[in-house]
Amino acid sequence: MAMRQTPLTCSGHTRPVVDLAFSGITPYGYFLISACKDGKPMLRQGDTGDWIGTFLGHKGAVWGATLNKDATKAATAAADFTAKVWDAVSGDEVLTLAHKHIVKSVNFTQDSNHLLTGGNDKVLRIYDLNKPDAEPQEIAGHNGTIKKALWCNEDQQILSAADDKTVRLWDRSSAEVLKSLSFDASVSSMEYMPDGHIVVITYGKTIAFYNALSLELIKTVDAPASIHSASLHPEKDYFVAGGDDFKLYKYDYSTKEELESYKGHFGPVHCVRFSPDGELYASGSEDGTLRLWQTAVGKTYGLWKCLLPEELISENSETTYPAPAPEIKA
């Protein structure tokens, strides 16, 4: 009999979870940060979901969150017109970067020295984190809210997705648009895979894969429901997607065949990402929870090694962790 997926449920947030990101693999494992409309982004151990700390300081919904590769720094984008940079080890706020409108996206360069932001004022900004008082480099051109802005091609180029139904590839130094894609619906999410230069874009019910250097289309897959987010496995074996129908879908990347679908949330799925080792994927939902799902169901990994076989097969079993005390700093 096929084993049932037993997601680990991470509670603690009080409003919808709208973004999540993993760090790279560090000597201490890997880490997971979540952005939530409750204004309190949380840091967790990536393979178990165990709560480490909450970053306190934003005065509005947090729309975007990211970690640098070695999980020493975090950045958050919020409705209080700021992006913040945090020491992810101590939990202390390092920098507040004032913007003119709601900030939706934050992304570090590989060396963690620069931060890219984007949001409702339609401008991309590049901050030199070693010169906190210097004015950021500004790149304008979008005609709608910037939902996601990501470094690509060794941090020499920028990919941005906006409500103007375009994805644009920019040259970092000249601030020129190198290539632009137009869609018939607003882009709901974008993920960049440096290994293989693949960009994953979702819009409507479509999950599309492009070459990040040329923006040539590789393939598209249509899901049964409107999709908010998709993620490609690090080895490019599978991709997962989630959206309006509360389900998570897993597909074979090469054949595009649907392999699994699970209903695990009690609201639309806003974000989904594979862990850096590819062993699990995390989803965040309107229901205020994060859930961790095994890529290979039944494999001994992380906290799944504590579950007995009958628990894995049980129809309704679910491992839930107590909610963390929300006011403790990391």
pLDDT at 293 over 50: yes
Residues 6+ apart with CB under 8 A from 307: 6, 317, 319
The mean pLDDT value for 312-320 works out to 43
The pairing of beta strand 8-10 with beta strand 290-294: antiparallel
Please give the pLDDT value at position 68: 98
Positive or negative: CA dihedral 138, 140, 145, 147 = negative
Contact yes or no for 260/250 (Cβ under 8 A) = yes
Please give the pLDDT value at position 311: 47
Q: Residue 306: pLDDT band by 50, 70, 90 thresholds?
A: low
Q: Residue 104: pLDDT band by 50, 70, 90 thresholds?
A: very high
Which of 237, 239, 152, 238 has the alpha carbon at shortest distance from 192? 152
Please give the pLDDT value at position 300: 87
Q: How far is CA 302 from CA 1, 250, 294, in A?
A: 23, 20, 10
Structural domains in the chain plus CATH codes? 18-320 (2.130.10.10)
Contact yes or no for 151/144 (Cβ under 8 A) = no
Q: Residue 318: pLDDT band by 50, 70, 90 thresholds?
A: very low
Please give the pLDDT value at position 314: 40
The mean pLDDT value for 92-120 works out to 98
Residues 6+ apart with CB under 8 A from 58: 39, 40, 41, 76, 78, 80, 82, 84
- 3-class DSSP state of 78: strand
Angstrom distance (rounded) from CA 49 to CA 290: 8
pLDDT tens profile 40-83: 999 999 999 999 999 999 999 999 999 999 999 999 999 999 99
Please give the pLDDT value at position 5: 86
- 3-class DSSP state of 303: helix
Q: What percentage of the chain exceeds 70 in pLDDT? A: 92
- 3-class DSSP state of 290: strand
Report the helix count and the strand count for the chain, using DSSP H and E. 1, 29
Q: Which two tokens stand for residue 109?
A: 């360069």
Q: Which residue would you say has higher pLDDT here, 302 or 236?
A: 236
pLDDT tens profile 176-230: 999 999 999 999 999 999 999 999 999 999 999 999 999 999 999 999 999 999 9
Please give the pLDDT value at position 328: 40
Q: Which two tokens stand for residue 278?
A: 């590819």
Q: Which two tokens stand for residue 89?
A: 């080890």
pTM over 0.85: yes
User: What secondary structure, in 3-state letters, does 179-215 show?
Assistant: EEEECCCCEEEEEEECCCCEEEEEECCEEEEEECCCC
**Cα 106 versus chain centre, distance:** 10
> What count of Cα atoms within 13 Å lies in the side-chain half-sphere of residue 323?
9
Tell me the backbone φ, ψ of residue 44, rounded to 5 degrees: -135, 160
> What count of Cα atoms within 13 Å lies in the side-chain half-sphere of residue 181?
27
Please give the pLDDT value at position 327: 44
pLDDT tens profile 249-261: 999 999 999 999 9
Rg (CA), the chain: 19
Question: How many residues would you count in the chain?
Answer: 330
Angstrom distance (rounded) from CA 153 to CA 305: 38
pLDDT tens profile 126-148: 999 999 899 999 999 999 999 99
Contact yes or no for 202/227 (Cβ under 8 A) = yes
Please give the pLDDT value at position 307: 55
Contact yes or no for 158/169 (Cβ under 8 A) = yes
pLDDT at 32 over 70: yes
Q: Residue 2: pLDDT band by 50, 70, 90 thresholds?
A: low
| Residue 322: DSSP 8-state | P
